[in-house]
A and B are shown apart, each in its own frame.
Chain A
Amino acid sequence: MSKKLLGWKEIPFAGIIPNTPTSLEYKTGTWRAFKPVHNKEKCIKCLLCWIHCPEPAIIRHDDDSIEIDYDYCKGCGICSNVCPVKAIVMVPEGE
């Protein structure tokens, strides 16, 4: 959200967006109240979090290790919930 926001005379006619896709510019990570924190030591690379993340904000690497994309993670907690070894814990944002 660091981009300059346009005024009503500058926005396209009727809010039409001609150069799709623009959804990547919208960083939904700012919505988060709880933040998933991943523990690499505990992780068994089962990828259940990767399958269940609705965004998807779990990035899967070639070796099946995972990383959380905080630009888009909304902090829903599903990944933490499905992880069989409790390798993801939710902590309040700002802590």
Chain B
Amino acid sequence: MFVQLKLLLWFRRESEMGKIIGLNGDEAVAYAVKQTNVDVIAAYPITPQTIIVERLSEYVHNGELEAAFVPVESEHSALSATVGAALTGARVFTATASQGLALMYEILWIASSLRLPIVMALGNRAFSAPINIHCSHDDAMAARDAGWIEFFSENVQEAYDLTLIAFKSAESCLLPAIVNLDAFILTHSLEGVEVLDDNDVKRFLPDKRPIYPYPIDVEKPTTYGPLALYDYYIEMKRQQAEAVKEAYGKIVNIMREYSEVSGRKYSPVKAYFMDDAEVAIVVLGSAAGTIRTVVRDLRSKGEKVGVLSLTLYRPFPEKELMNAVKNVKVLAVMDRAYSYGAPGAPLFSDIAATLYNVEEKPMLFNVVYGLGGRDLTADHVKFVFNIAKEYLRKGIVEKKEIWIGVRK
């Protein structure tokens, strides 16, 4: 009895410890993909995602990963190949960035409408022109209406963890999923990443096939993606809309399950000092860490500030967000993307729409920052908090949209 208990404890400790290895964001994604025992990878290398594709092709070449690696001639083909592979019931992966995502665009909608559990890493990079290889969330925002689940990582550890969470989410919800990681800030930064034991990954993400429940079967001809005009198109879209809404609860549970496996807590929204915050910032991606540092600093001076960051962007965490900001007086929504001519940048529009019918809600203003890799400094964040405090004092938002870190 005692020996058994000791053994059990020993096993637990072994599996809980996890190995720490030095990986950059791209490598961390590739490492996670390898651990999922993926069957088909079709991808075209593009900065800053290139290392993901390189590592995966090495894994396949070295025999560390038994998968079909399809070196396609474009991103349009990359996603098309994963669509075909997913329809056979395989576990599939692709990765891209910026212009590559733009070239995939029509297939994004086909993948989600066919409800295919494809996982894609997106090294968030600004759209041309002018040509730029650094971080904007343009590509993530271009995909936001396409019916994909979208996660945002804040650091390299999260890029690794969210890749595993994305596979399980995509496969349970039968929806494609994107893992966003900021260009260079995450894709090329080296971090000590705690990786799961291969067996723990297997337990979290069982190796069953087929993954798609209606796989192509030559004995049983089936039509996928038929023509549907005014008689059926809208019914199909309604069904899809419901699937994405329903995915929310499933993803929350998957995040919880992953937290137990990894010991790292995951939920759709991360709130830092939000309980009694009067002014707060909400943001996506790697900027959250910088803002948290400033919040800690200002809190030590007694200022009631806080920060919210979204780990899950689609489906949008409306309830958690409403709940997290219910006591906030002024909320600054920081967008690393822009929507020309729109009443607000993408995240701002999402949050304004979330809060519109809520009675007690904060005043909102939109901060555009960091486009094309422009640094976000602690001083920028302090500047945003100062504006928020000024609006709180005056009781009015004087400028709904401000750009920071930009020369006049």
Which residue numbers of A lie inside 8 Å of B, CB to CB? 1, 5-9, 11, 13-18, 20, 22
**Complex contacts, B225 vs chain A, CB 8 Å:** 15
Complex CA–CA separation, A55 to B166 (angstroms)? 46
- 26 contacting pairs across A/B (C-beta < 8 A): A5-B232, A6-B232, A6-B235, A8-B234, A8-B238, A9-B239, A11-B232, A11-B235, A11-B239, A13-B174, A13-B213, A13-B239, A14-B214, A14-B224, A14-B236, A15-B226, A15-B228, A15-B232, A17-B222, A17-B223, A18-B214, A18-B220, A18-B222, A20-B222, A20-B223, A22-B223
| Chain B residue at minimum C-beta to C-beta distance from A12 | B214
| Chain B residue at minimum C-beta to C-beta distance from A15 | B236
Which residue numbers of B lie inside 8 Å of A, CB to CB? 113-115, 174, 213-214, 220-226, 228, 231-232, 234-236, 238-240, 242
Give A22 Cβ to nearest chain B Cβ, in Å: 7
Give A16 Cβ to nearest chain B Cβ, in Å: 6
**Complex contacts, A8 vs chain B, CB 8 Å:** 234-236, 238-239, 242
Q: A8-B242, A9-B239 are in contact. List 4 more A-B contacts (CB 8 A).
A: A14-B115, A15-B225, A20-B221, A20-B222
Complex CA–CA separation, A83 to B384 (angstroms)? 78
**Complex contacts, A6 vs chain B, CB 8 Å:** 232, 235
Give A72 Cβ to nearest chain B Cβ, in Å: 15
Complex CA–CA separation, A22 to B223 (angstroms)? 9
Query: Which 10 A/B pairs are nearest by Cβ-Cβ distance?
Result: A17-B223, A8-B238, A8-B235, A14-B115, A15-B236, A8-B239, A20-B221, A18-B222, A14-B114, A20-B223
**Complex contacts, A5 vs chain B, CB 8 Å:** 231-232
Complex CA–CA separation, A16 to B223 (angstroms)? 6
**Complex contacts, A14 vs chain B, CB 8 Å:** 113-115, 174, 214, 224, 236, 239-240
**B115 and A13 within 8 A (CB):** yes
Complex CA–CA separation, A79 to B120 (angstroms)? 51
**Complex contacts, A11 vs chain B, CB 8 Å:** 232, 235-236, 239
Complex CA–CA separation, A22 to B114 (angstroms)? 19
Complex CA–CA separation, A9 to B241 (angstroms)? 12
Complex CA–CA separation, A6 to B242 (angstroms)? 17
**Complex contacts, B214 vs chain A, CB 8 Å:** 13-14, 16, 18
| Chain B residue at minimum C-beta to C-beta distance from A26 | B227
Give A37 Cβ to nearest chain B Cβ, in Å: 28
Give B43 Cβ to nearest chain A Cβ, in Å: 24
Give A31 Cβ to nearest chain B Cβ, in Å: 11
**B224 and A16 within 8 A (CB):** yes
**Complex contacts, B231 vs chain A, CB 8 Å:** 1, 5
| Chain A residue at minimum C-beta to C-beta distance from B238 | A8
Give A64 Cβ to nearest chain B Cβ, in Å: 34
**Complex contacts, A1 vs chain B, CB 8 Å:** 231
| Chain A residue at minimum C-beta to C-beta distance from B213 | A13
Give B118 Cβ to nearest chain A Cβ, in Å: 14
**A16 and B228 within 8 A (CB):** no
